[in-house]
Structure 1
Amino acid sequence: MNADLSTNFAYLFEEELLKEINNLGVPKKFKADTVIIELEDFIKSMPLLLSGAIKILREDEKGEELVLYYLEKGDTCAMTLSCCMGQTKSKIRAVAETDVSLILLPKEKMTVWLSKYKSWQSFILESYHNRVEELLEAIDTIAFLKMEDRLFKYLKDKAMVIHNDVLQVTHKQISEDLHTSRVVVSRLLKKLENEQKIALHRNSIKVLQL
């Protein structure tokens, strides 16, 4: 059995379900910045994340992206599950934030396992709950936080997801993720540095307050 599967999910799932996942799942690896799921794709399988982190994005009619939330090891994407069960096109883009290892599960098994395994039912319901909480947090961040606070939260969230307080991210990437200009990002990063919340380096940003 896949060692990462046992490590991440043995405490969640029955032995029989783990065996089914191991036998039916297709292991995949993606390099950082690789698009894993594209907007308007038909979803044929659901991912279980074994290692790394995935960024979930929405895109508007102008092609501008907005970060909704991150997936970490042990997670799945509730939106992907909805598309699997509803046979609809993807409403999100999933991009590898770091190098990623996952298992793709056949969509035909999603509803079968919901009735067959209580642990799977609990896992899916908890996944939905967590994603809804994260979506509400994203909405609150956009609606109620000043851009400076949004930027600092974005940096802290990214650091926690990749488990590293040194971020290899450009001002351009940040501006795209936050729907603002690179000039604004550069100005606010300098302000955060003056407040000793971050340290700016030539090709990286160190988050000092997590």
Structure 2
Amino acid sequence: MPLEYRIMEKEKLTELLEAQGFEKGLIDEIITTGRLKKISKGSNVITPGMNAKEIPLVLEGTLKVMRQDKDGSEIFLYYLEGGEACAMSITCCLENKKSEFSAVAEEDTLLWMIPMTLMDKWVEKYPAFRRFIFKSYQKRFDELLLAIDSMAFMKLDQRLYKYLLDKKQASGSFEINKTHEQIARELNTSRVVISRLLKQLENEGKIEQHRNKIEIL
């Protein structure tokens, strides 16, 4: 990797860590002990059954976190954006557990991989890191509650529209490059149902549909 590129990514990482309020000593340790990882769109960062030794911190791009059952069916849980780490991956690393979820790059994504062997030390040594971990748990817990609420109390058309808005929020774009089949898999329903509901949302003036692309209005 060219020197100029490494310097640019180090500056980006430093800005993200400073925005979290991390102490200078902690920032230095994260930069020194971690490594950069480039993930192309659609690639898996974490897969079910993986025994991860590193925690991914998103520098640029978006990760989609999914839960998978024993039959291979998946359901969308939440997105991870710049400056965020996955609370479930932290738990798996600290407890040396195999992953029960998957994390997939929604677009070309840059990650900073942090070795889990330093987590205990940083939690004890740096108050800002403790707050970051607790904040990560709280945010993911809140999002999981929203996911449960949407499945339990929302009609599927409401869940679909919330899914589209969440995707817009995570990507920062009003255009969603997803097929009906992909959306159906993530919401654990059929393509026919999703196609019908998207047409309904289009008739209500909430979206416009194009080939393999949906535009939020």
TM-score (structure 1 length as normaliser): 0.97
> Could you list the per-position Cα deviations for residues 117-137 of structure 1 after superposition, in whole angstroms to 9, with x for gaps in the alignment?
001000000000000000000
Q: Which residue of 1 aligns with 2:4?
A: none
Q: Which residue of 2 aligns with 1:164?
A: 173
Q: Which residue of 1 aligns with 2:128?
A: 119
CA distance in 1, matches of 2:184, 2:212: 16
CA distance in 1, matches of 2:130, 2:145: 23
1:51 to 60, 68, 79: 60
> Could you list the per-position Cα deviations for residues 118-158 of structure 1 after superposition, in whole angstroms to 9, with x for gaps in the alignment?
01000000000000000000000110100100111111111
SS at match of 1:205: strand
1:9 to 17, 26, 29: 17
Aligned length: 208
Q: Which residue of 2 aligns with 1:207?
A: 216
Structure 2 unaligned runs (5+)? 1-6
Q: Is structure 2 residue 184 aligned with structure 1 residue 191?
A: no
CA distance in 2, matches of 1:82, 1:58: 15
SS at match of 1:10: helix
CA distance in 2, matches of 1:156, 1:80: 25
Q: Which residue of 1 aligns with 2:141?
A: 132
After TM superposition, what 4+ stretches of structure 1 lie above 4 angstroms from structure 2? none
2:98 to 72, 78, 89: 89
Q: Which residue of 2 aligns with 1:61?
A: 70
CA distance in 2, matches of 1:19, 1:163: 30
Residue type of the partner of 1:3? E
CA distance in 1, matches of 2:216, 2:86: 27
CA distance in 2, matches of 1:152, 1:35: 26
TM-score (structure 2 length as normaliser): 0.94
Residue type of the partner of 2:78? Y
Q: Which residue of 1 aligns with 2:87?
A: 78
1:30 to 2, 21, 39: 39
Residue type of the partner of 1:31? S
SS at match of 2:58: strand
Residue type of the partner of 2:112? I
Q: CA deviation at 1:203?
A: 2.5
Q: CA deviation at 1:8?
A: 1.0
